[in-house]
Structures are given as structure tokens and as C-alpha cells.
Amino acid sequence: MNLILKVWRQKNGQVKGRFETFEAKEVSPEMSFLEMIDLLNETLTQQGIEPIAFDSDCREGICGMCSFVLNGVPHGAQYQPGSAVCQLPMRHFKDGDVLTLEPWRAKAFPVVKDLVCDRSAFDRVIAAGGFVSVNTGGCPDANAIPVRKQDAERAMDAAQCIGCGACVAACKNASAMLFVAAKVSHLATLPQGQIEARERVLNMVGQMDAEGFGNCTNMYECQAVCPKEISVDFIAQMNREYLKAAR
């Protein structure tokens, strides 16, 4: 099949960007979306046009590196919910489709080039408290800290966040609540995370605000596009943790 791609091109963060139109030819349904762009980039290189810059690494939907908006929705979640764009196969599309590709749009995620943006704000939120303060060595036997199976499962539901930033990109407020809530809830659900629970939620929320992410207004767009389908219930859990801590 042949497709029309309208792609956001921007040389760097200092200059204005614009859409450019390309034709992707001889796309087969077995290709992944990123392999389709790879193929287009090969053609562009042959024509002396600089290839489209986009982030990807594991291409298995787990590293969270890939990140662009496809026809208005992060990761193209309207075609295949619960998946990162690196795992979106071309069999969801048909000959002649017109597709628009844009980078994540959020003040806290400045555009670096084309479809690549800077998500280091997420790392700074984790550095502010998204951990259990345990130095290496001298830990008790792992079975000395029993964890209810239900709690371990719930912690895992939250912990599987891949930090891609789609939740921010989907939110009209560019809020990072789902990302921060996932980490706060993961650690707050386990006994290991109790000691620092108060400082953790205050520090992480404080850093989230300082980075310029917006607030949550319960639109649930984040949950709808999350490649790991992380539930907004965790935002409620984070809010409870925050209220407890801020009292």
C-alpha cells in the first residue's frame, strides 16, 4: 500500500517547525509503524533529503523511547490500544491513508528535532523521591518482608509504567499525574515504601509542578493512550497519599 505522511519537521528547539508531506510507498501490512518510517527514511536518504528524526530503541514496547502523536493521538492508540507506537503494525492501515505525525506537545517536553523531544523532566521527578532509600548491601532476607499477593500485583500494575510520556502528551493540561501517580502508588502499596511515603509524595509532586506540568482535571485521556493501560485509580491513590502527607 501507499500512504501520505504529513510529518512535523523542526531542525532544533530554537527555530520554528512546519509540516512536510511525504509519500511512503510499497508498505506491507507486516511492517511495524517504525519500520515503515525506516523505509521512508532510506528513500529520503537516496534522494538527498535528511531523514526524519524519531526516537526508538527496544521496539518491543517496553523501553518507552518511541514517542510521537499519530493522527492526533499519542502512540496511535486509536488503532491499537495498550501498545507503544513501535508495536503498531501497518495492517491497521489501508492504501491511500493520510497520516499526521507530530512530537509530544508539552511545555515540559521541549522539542529537540522533528519528532524527538526532551523528557528529562521525568528523570528529575524520580530523582526527587521516586525510590526507596536503601544502600547496597545489608538488606534482610527477601522473605523477611512478606507482601500480600494482591498488593504485589497492584504494585506491579503501577510499576509497569514505561515512562514514555504519552499521558502528558494526551492531556489538554500536559499533566504528568498518571506518571507520577504510578511511581508513588507502586512504592506506597509495598511495605518497603512506607517509611518515606510522606516525603516521597510531597517531593515528587513538588518537582512535577516545578517542571511545568499542568494539573489533572479528570479527563482520563492519559489512561486511554497509556501503552501499559495504567489506571487513573492510581491518581486517586496519589491524591490520598498527598492529602495524608500534607495534613
Partner 1 sequence: MSLNANIPSGPLAEKWDKHKFDLKLVNPANKRRFSMIVVGSGLAGASAAATLAELGYGVKCFCFQDSPRRAHSIAAQGGINAAKNYPNDGDSIQRLFYDTIKGGDFRSREANVYRLAQISNQIIDQCAAQGVPFAREYGGLLENRSFGGALVSRTFYARGQTGQQLLLGAYQALERQIGLKTVQMFPRTEMLDLVMVDGQTRGIVTRNLLTGRVESHAADAVVLATGGYGNAFYLSTNAIGCNATAIFRAYKKGAFFANPCYTQIHPTCIPVSGDHQSKLTLMSESLRNDGRVWVPKRKGDPRSPDQIPEADRDYYLERKYPTYGNLAPRDIASRAAKQVCDEGRGVGPGGRGVYLDFTEAIERLGKSGVCERYGNLFDMYQRITGEDPYQFPMRIYPAMHYTMGGLWVDYNLMSNLPGLYVIGEANFSDHGANRLGASALMQGLADGYFILPYTLSDALARAGQTKITTDHPEFKKAEKDVQNRLQKFLSIKGKRTVKSFHRELGTLLWENCGMSRNAAGLRKALARIPEIRAEFWRNVNVLGEKEELNQTLEKAGRVADFLEFGELLVQDALHRSESCGGHFREESQTDEGEAKRDDANFSYVAAWEHAGDGKPAVLHKEPLTFDAVQLAARSYK
- Binders of partner 1 among 185-204, rule CB under 8 A? 186-187, 190, 192-193
Map the footprint of partner 1 across residues 146-165, applying CB under 8 A.
146-149, 152, 155-156, 159-160, 162-163
Sketch the per residue contact string, 24 through 43, with partner 1: x for CB under 8 A, - otherwise. Answer: ----x-xxx-xx--xx--x-
Using the contact rule CB under 8 A, the part of the chain among 61-69, 70-78, 166-174, 233-241 near partner 1 is: 61-69
The number of residues that bind partner 1 (CB under 8 A) is 77
- The dihedrals phi and psi of 13, each to the nearest 5 degrees, come to -70, -10
Residues 6+ apart with CB under 8 A from 18: 8, 9, 10
Nearer of residues 63 and 245 to partner 1, judged by Cβ = 63
20 binds partner 1, rule: CB under 8 A: no
Q: For partner 1, which stretch binds (CB under 8 A), given 100-108, 132-140, 212-220, 236-244?
A: 132-140
Contact window for partner 1 (CB under 8 A) among 84-92, 97-105, 216-224, 230-238:
84-92
The set of residues, in sequence order, having a beta carbon less than 8 Å from that of 203 and lying 6+ positions away, is 128, 129
246 counts as binding partner 1 under rule CB under 8 A: no
Q: Using only C-alpha atoms, what is the Rg of the chain?
A: 20
CA angle 175, 180, 181 (to 5 degrees): 105
Q: How far is the CB of 219 from partner 1 (least distance, A)?
A: 26
Dihedral angle sign, alpha carbons of residues 35, 117, 17, 13 = negative
Closest CA to 53 of 3, 4, 124, 118: 118
